[in-house]
Amino acid sequence: QKEVEQDPGPLSVPEGAIVSLNCTYSNSAFQYFMWYRQYSRKGPELLMYTYSSGNKEDGRFTAQVDKSSKYISLFIRDSQPSDSATYLCAMSSNSGNTPLVFGKGTRLSVIA
């Protein structure tokens, strides 16, 4: 079993839909969870950063962490064609400057 599992998609939704992206993980030591958005041929852009369990909201984006289930989610409300990208979950166990463990990424297409 890989440390971080993420459905690669592709996921196609109509404009305005609510998008749900998910990752599961096996390492119970992970405490810091991130979501990155990556457009084609670009570097990943940090969207959300959360610590431990709970919810965090930023505009149309909501990140949820359920450590008991080892499950994290990213919700995108009122999705736009500009949200079309690959979304990568990432996590780490330390608060220090340590490498992240990434999911494979989910490719999302929002159709106008």
Partner 1 sequence: GAVVSQHPSRVICKSGTSVKIECRSLDFQATTMFWYRQFPKQSLMLMATSNEGSKATYEQGVEKDKFLINHASLTLSTLTVTSAHPEDSSFYICSASPQSNEQFFGPGTRLTVL
Of 82, 77, 51, nearest to 62 by C-alpha is: 77
Where does this chain touch partner 1 (CB under 8 A) — which range of 13-21, 42-50, 55-63, 69-77?
42-50
User: Does 94 engage in binding with partner 1 (CB under 8 A)?
Assistant: yes
Closer residue to partner 1 (CB): 11 or 100:
100
Where does this chain touch partner 1 (CB under 8 A) — which range of 18-26, 30-38, 58-66, 67-75?
30-38
User: Does 33 engage in binding with partner 1 (CB under 8 A)?
Assistant: no
Phi, psi of 81 (to 5 degrees): -55, -30
User: Does 59 engage in binding with partner 1 (CB under 8 A)?
Assistant: no
User: Does 97 engage in binding with partner 1 (CB under 8 A)?
Assistant: yes
Phi, psi of 8 (to 5 degrees): -75, -10
Longest dimension (CA), the chain: 41
Residue owning tokens 């995108």: 76
79/108 Cα distance (integer angstroms):
10
Binding site for partner 1 (CB under 8 A): 8, 32, 34, 36, 41-46, 49, 88, 90, 92, 94-100, 102-105
